[in-house]
Structure 1
Amino acid sequence: MTIEVIATSRQAQGTGASRRLRNSGRTPGIVYGGGDAVQIELDHNDLYYALRNEAFHASVLSLSVDGKKESVLLRDFQMHPFRQQVLHIDFQRVDAGKKMHVKVPLHFINADVAPGVKLGGGIISHVLNELDVACLPANLPEFVEVDLSKLEIGKSVHVSDLKLPKGVEAAGHHHASDAVATIQVPRGAVEAAAATAAE
């Protein structure tokens, strides 16, 4: 499912113009990459609710600027320090034939049936919550699943254990041996066991 974003180009720039825009319920933004940068404005409420959708952050979006559509990625956005207000947003154009680097959220599944939790009373620790991947825009997954069903006490799931979709590879600073999630016995349980053994 393609997520559509509606925007219009804006001419007025500068702090004063941006403030007036925000006061009228609009959010300033920019589209860059693969051509000239274009200053845009978007409906604030639509944008605010879109940003609460996880898929909006890790999908190729269809951005319509004055009716002209192009494929983009969300690259950055600034929030007001204490108000629920989006101050500015950045989109980057994507080229269908070029690999891109994107952070994709990790979805952890089967934690409740992991032997380390069910039999060992362990607690799962998420070392990573997102993964840097490289792929063509058409292959970009909304998320990557991390299956914890075989994880035992003291063991970890590593980047090399993840089943990445076809055409998607781990990128950035990740190494195959990096831990994604681990199961540890809670410290209190270790101390209680040690005290029992001592008695």
Structure 2
Amino acid sequence: MVQTVRIEAVARDEAGKGAARATRREGLVPGVVYGAKQKATLVAFDPRDIMKELIKGGWQSHLYEVAVKDGPTERTIMREVQFHPVTDRPIHIDFQRVAPGARIRVRVPVVFLNEDTSAGLKAGGVLNVVRREVEVLAETDKVPDHFEIDLLNAKIGDGLRWSAIKDHFGARPGIVGRDFMIASIAAPMVEEEVAPVVAAPEPAKGKGKAPAKAPAKAAAPAKGAAAPAAPAKKK
């Protein structure tokens, strides 16, 4: 089931862009905890703690206990992360409070089992993944860490849909009204072989017949010279 991760934070006194920039100059990442019909709490985090969660992956389906120093511990999900356009480092984080028993909208990663022994993949098929994550509505205490699809008996041409997931853990899909596609086993692409074009060999120098010369044209008579006599007629 879903992991619950504790993450330390300190309170911030002021909101706004100027206050956020001042927090970053102190080496911290500004953030906010909101929701559950309560006043938003301004917080800041150690960037190393944030990067560890982002690198680990799956943070959009984890529960976080944001422990504010000298303050409350909030049960949340990490809802949005803003990144620096050049360094790709997090510059602001939003956490949403969650109440026990409430349903939250999260994205859950999909894991494919038995790829090495899949009938379709062993026959040369290719796993074409349409969705690596599925958006669902799930109870906060029952959010799955991931969904599993077994590829063991999947054959070339098979479509793997929402119904192919082994256990939904009570979650409802965000896409309603159809059994949507998650992956498929596609047929291998066959490249047409083109025969290489072989150029005709050039004749070796000095060998073979020389090309025939064109017949020479008769020289024109010089100016003033008598025209050649016409052949005599036969009597």
**Which of residues 70, 74, 88 in structure 1 aligns to 2:74?**
70
Contact 1:159 1:175 (8 Å CA) reproduced: no
Cα distance in structure 2, aligned partners of 1:118 and 1:187: 15
Give the counterpart letter for 1:137 in structure 2.
Answer: T
**Which of residues 6, 11, 21 in structure 1 aligns to 2:13?**
11
Cα distance in structure 1, aligned partners of 2:51 and 2:27: 11
2:142 matches 1:139: yes
* 1:1-199 to 2 correspondences below 5 Å: 1-34=3-36, 35-66=38-69, 67-119=71-123, 121-169=124-172, 171-188=173-190, 191=192
The runs of at least 4 aligned residues of structure 1 exceeding 6 Å deviation read none
The gaps in structure 2 that reach 5 residues or longer are 195-235
1:175 CA drift (Å): 4.9
Which structure dedicates a bigger proportion of its chain to helix?
1
Contact 1:116 1:152 (8 Å CA) reproduced: yes
1:187 CA drift (Å): 2.2
1:166 CA drift (Å): 3.3
More deviation, 36-45/12-21: 12-21
1:104 CA drift (Å): 0.6
Cα distance in structure 2, aligned partners of 1:51 and 1:42: 13
The gaps in structure 1 that reach 5 residues or longer are none
Q: Which residue of 1 aligns with 2:215?
A: none
Q: 1:185 to 1:165 in 2, by over 3 A?
A: closer
TM-score, length of structure 1 as denominator length: 0.87
Q: C-alpha deviations, 1:158-182, integer Å up to 9, x for none?
A: 111212243223x212554211111
Contact 1:2 1:60 (8 Å CA) reproduced: yes
Contact 2:58 2:108 (8 Å CA) reproduced: no
Give the counterpart letter for 2:167 in structure 1.
Answer: L
Q: Helix, strand or coil: the match of 2:121?
A: helix
1:2 CA drift (Å): 2.5
